[in-house]
Each structure stands twice: as C-alpha cells, then as structure tokens.
C-alpha cells in the first residue's frame, strides 16, 4: 500500500507480519471494498457507461499516486489525517444529497462508507497527536509543508483516455453540488488545528514557530480568497463526461 512505503514504517516484503503492516494492508482492503460497493451500485443503476468507468479505473491505477509526501512518515500521517477527514465529509455530504433526492440505497451506502472513513481518520489523527507530543518541531514543519503544497486527493491523476482534465472537471462538479467544497477543505483545516491544539504548542524551534504561524493563519486567508473567487465567478461552463454517455454537465 502507499502508506507502507513511508520511510521507517515500510513493509519491504509486502507481506510483513508486523502489526503496522497488517493494519495498513487491512486499511487498504477496506478502502477497496468501498470502491467495489460503489461500482456495483453504479452498474446496477444502469445510468452510467460502465465501459468508461472501468477504463477510468484502469488508467487511474496505471497512473499511480503522487500526493507529495516524499516518503516522509510525518508528512504521510498528516496527509492521511486530512484525506480521511475529507472522505468522511464528502461521503457524508453525498449521503445527505442522496437522501434529499429520494435515493435511500445510495444514502445508506455513502453513510456506511463515511462511518468507516471516520474510524480511519481517528486512527491517523491520534498518530499525529503522538508525533506532536514526542517531536513537536518536525511534526509542525511536516504539517506546514503539506498545507503549503495543498492536500490533493489520491485520484488527482485520474483520466479516462479522452479527457486529461477529468479530475479537475469532476472536482468542479463536486464543488458546485456540495459534495466536497473549498469550505469543507478549510473546515477540515480548522478542525485539525483545534484537535491537535496547534496554536498552543510550545518549545518549538524558530523554524517550527514559523510553521506554526503559517498553519494557524492559513484558514482565514483561504476563506477570503474563496469569497473573491465566488464574487468574480464567470458564466457556468459545461463539459461532457464519458461516464454518463458524454452528457454535458455544469461545472
């Protein structure tokens, strides 16, 4: 798995019996079940082009992942904390939207997945809490580095063989309908700052203090920028998605 490649916690054999390796492989298996469940729902719905869905999955796996952690375990656990919180929020939002529109099956599916993601989040958040306790400066710097790079979802290299900007288009739709938005991103940052008590951490080096100031002051800056973008939003753009038989969707 991706997180088994981090320095110091790597699973060199791919089948190590150490507790961490076993746990992380089980985590990956659970994430795979989420994907299988959602794909089965899409297949049974009859509303999507499964050929293009399968091609997108194939290309996504072939493209690999680069989430900017550099195999640094501190950055990796910070990333996982944010990303798991993001998937908890986005699946929860999707469950709510599905319920509002009368699709109780999809609502139940997404609600179940959201609950799993919440448990994943709790595990990684606690790991970072411990890192802040034993090595506050390096952990604070790792948090700052990840936020400077922006937290990108694992599927950002996704494409369908036709549209190289598929993930950006998909993200724009998610933003517009309220599945995962900039406000969600900032709310997650605020949540983690509070959960990790980043503003109260002391005994940092000068570099650690600079990182602390950056992280703790980032959320208000992003919110102001988003307000400006919303105020200058241009006319809606439409784009065709191969997943829904090239139907045009508003971005």
Q: Is 31 annotated for ligand binding?
A: yes
Say if CB 159 and CB 59 are below 8 A apart. yes
Cα–Cα dist 100/91, whole Å: 14
Q: Is 202 annotated for ligand binding?
A: no
Q: How far, in Å, are 7, 74, 234 from residue 147 at the CA level?
A: 20, 13, 28
Q: What angle do CA 142, 144, 150 make, to 5 degrees?
A: 105
Angle between helices 73-100 and 182-195 (to 10 degrees): 130
Q: Is 117 annotated for ligand binding?
A: yes
Cα–Cα dist 41/21, whole Å: 31
Binding annotation for Fe cation:
31, 34, 84, 117, 120
Residues making up the binding site: 31, 34, 84, 117, 120
């Amino acid at each position: 798995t991706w997180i088994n490649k981090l320095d110091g916690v790597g699973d060199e054999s791919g089948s190590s019996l150490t507790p961490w390796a076993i746990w992380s492989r089980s985590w990956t298996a659970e994430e795979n079940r989420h994907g299988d469940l959602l794909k089965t729902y899409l297949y049974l719905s009859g509303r999507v082009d499964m050929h293009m869905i399968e091609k997108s999955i194939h290309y996504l796996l072939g493209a690999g992942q680069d989430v900017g952690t550099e195999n640094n375990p501190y950055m990796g656990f910070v990333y996982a904390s944010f990303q798991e919180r993001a998937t908890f929020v986005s699946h929860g939002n999707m469950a709510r939207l599905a319920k509002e529109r009368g699709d109780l099956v999809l609502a139940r599916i997404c609600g179940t997945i959201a609950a799993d993601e919440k448990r994943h989040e709790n595990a990684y958040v606690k790991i970072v809490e411990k890192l802040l306790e034993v090595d506050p400066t390096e952990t604070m710097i790792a948090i700052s580095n990840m936020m400077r790079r922006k937290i990108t979802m694992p599927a950002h290299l996704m494409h369908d063989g036709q549209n190289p900007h598929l993930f950006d288009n998909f993200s724009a739709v998610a933003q517009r309908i309220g599945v995962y938005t900039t406000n969600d991103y900032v709310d997650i940052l605020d949540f983690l700052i509070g959960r990790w008590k980043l503003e109260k951490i002391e005994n940092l080096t000068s570099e650690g203090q600079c990182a602390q100031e950056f992280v703790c002051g980032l959320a208000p800056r992003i919110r102001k920028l988003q307000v400006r973008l919303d105020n200058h939003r241009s006319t809606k753009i439409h784009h065709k998605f191969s997943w829904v038989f090239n139907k045009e969707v508003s971005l």
